[in-house]
Amino acid sequence: MSSSKASTNEKELAFIEKCIVRTMRKFRESPGAFWSEDDAGCYLKGLLLKGRLFKSRRVGNVFLSFPTRNTYDRGEDGVLVASPTGKSEYFGLVGWASAISTTGSHLTQRLSFAVALKNFAVIPDGWAAQIRNELLKLSDEANEVPPRGRFFLLLTAQPTTLLREKMNALFAAFPFVRCYQQLAQ
């Protein structure tokens, strides 16, 4: 890998992280602007498209609700399991640098990054399975998300201090996902 290629990847990662931090700050200061995960995804997408790294022509290379390559079945406990007879799930947000050509098919499109989002106004029953499922989709090698381009963003309006130990164990089980959490003020 050439040094210019490595520096481009570093620029991409730094820019994505900067946009995630700006999204977290906006949520902390104005949680009412984020009624759903889609709102957070749209805000983050807008920030990413302001830069030149993910823009090509008039449209950008950042998409909401992008299908996974792998298919999954859902167990009774809500946990996803990879299955050839299952159905595609979705990433909250994906993108690829403008240097990567667009194929027009999610099955052949090479991604630079994927972001999974969870927005909990109140921590629901089954929260651990929901977070685990997002981390699993990001980490599943069949989905071909580069290890350094896997991001998880958890936005909560309710403190999670009582859940911290279980949440940290979940995050530790998926070491190649960069995890961020923000509590609303």
The model's pTM: 0.89
Q: What is the dihedral of CA 158, 34, 64, 68, to 10 degrees?
A: 10
What total number of domains does the chain contain? 1
Q: Going residue by residue through the chain (185 aa), what tens digit of pLDDT does each one get?
A: 444 454 458 888 999 999 999 999 999 999 988 988 999 999 999 999 887 777 765 667 899 999 999 999 999 999 999 999 999 999 999 998 867 777 777 778 889 999 999 999 888 999 999 999 999 999 999 999 999 999 999 999 888 777 888 889 999 999 999 999 998 86
Count the helices and strands in the chain (H runs, E runs): 4, 8
Question: What is the distance between the alpha carbons of residues 137 and 75, in angstroms, rounded to a whole number?
Answer: 15
CATH of the domain at 23: 3.40.1350
Terminal alpha carbon distance of the chain? 44
- State both tokens at 145: 């998300």
Q: What is the dihedral of CA 114, 24, 134, 163, to 10 degrees?
A: 160
Segments forming the whole domain that contains residue 48: 3-183
